Structure 1
Amino acid sequence: MANCCRLKNLALSYNDSITAVGLSSLSSLFRSERCSLCNLLLVHLDDDGAVALANGLIGNKSLKTVEFSRSGITERGWTAFSKLLCDTSSVNNTYLSNHTLETLGGYGVHAPSDIMKYLKLNRVSQKNAALRKILDSHPDIDVEPLFQWKLKCLPLVVRWLESARSYLYLYHVHVRESNEVFQCRKLSAVYKFIHGLPSLAVAGYRGLNMTDILSKKRKFDHL
């Protein structure tokens, strides 16, 4: 099935004996670059099945609907789905989260509010779901990982923050903060760049000096 590129719907809702092991075996299908599966229908899902399914869907960019009519999912299972939809451990992991899945559950299945919010963001605009999740999950964006590119990323960060606000209004996604608060977040990111510049400059200056010293030492050794 991992090599099947035309499978759009997979209905397993008449099979009540599928376990977490069975769902794990579908990971190769979900993670295949050729996967075109859009809808997965199940009859029942418990914590083990939820964790197996959530782990299997990491990297999947086709599945939009996972329906199941009966749920034995507790906090452990829902946490796995929440991390799949929005991994808040870092900005990069949030960006790499699943922004494709739009429906999870079915009639009588009540997912936690954070999962419903992430699913709604995916439905409203898959293209900009990552942007909205980053802004929502990282009030104070850590720009230190970008220091390795020095000033090259500063214009990109500023431009990204400037366009973020317009995207949120364009797609009618609820924004909980005022323009003043959002502007403070933007200034905070710029400040971190400026604050980090002295250490970068000093490191660069020391690096150049050490290069000169070593170069002179090599010349002296050859005399």
Structure 2
Amino acid sequence: MTTIPGPDENRVRHLLRRIVEPPAPAEQPRRPITPTRVIPAGQPLPHPRAAHEERPTRPTPPGPPPPPTRTTPPAPPADPPPGGLWHGPQPYGPIEVRVTLVPGVPDPEPTRRERLWAWLRTYATPLQAISGMVAALAPVLPGGYSCAATWAETVHEARGIGIPASYTLATGALALTFFALVRKRDTRREGRGSSGVHVWAVTCTFVGTLSAVSPWDIVTLITGVHP
């Protein structure tokens, strides 16, 4: 009865065989065979060379190029004689600089209309002025009244109390709103702020001032006669 060795026994036998047997020499890599001559199919093989025949001489390969010859660098140029044009620092002398000033072309003088337009733009831009006046004169309040008309009616009702009270209310409100617009002008010069609200207020108070003024007030002031 034969027993089949197990894997552990096979492993032990393999290790013992590697210890006892000498190591096999390393297998040399096979060198590729380079043919020296290729004989086409159908042609006879060449005869072996006889002893008295000389082998064809191969051309001698060219030798290495000769080493470069060392050349002596040229000698540095001789120093220029003392006192030459570019030798050594020269004595400092006065330096004359001439500057010719050419007057530029002056800007054309702005016209009266351009000066007036530039002055008005310091208070508000055209868009801000139009927006403020439209908001003051547009019928945006209930009943189809505008803000300017409402203020004008208020000032006109003040004439019932007295003409001086009506003039004081109208001119005082106009002066305050115009003063606020002038103050806003300084802020606009610095590049910040909008004058739309101030234009709206000046428009409302100006319309109210026109409502407070009556042509008969001059007659009353001169003659004392009321209409």
* TM-score, normalising length: structure 2: 0.20
Q: Greater RCO between the two (CA within 8 Å, min separation 6)? A: 2
Computing the radius of gyration from Cα coordinates, the structure with the larger value is 2
- For normalisation by structure 1, the TM-score amounts to 0.20
The structure where strand makes up a greater share of residues is: 1
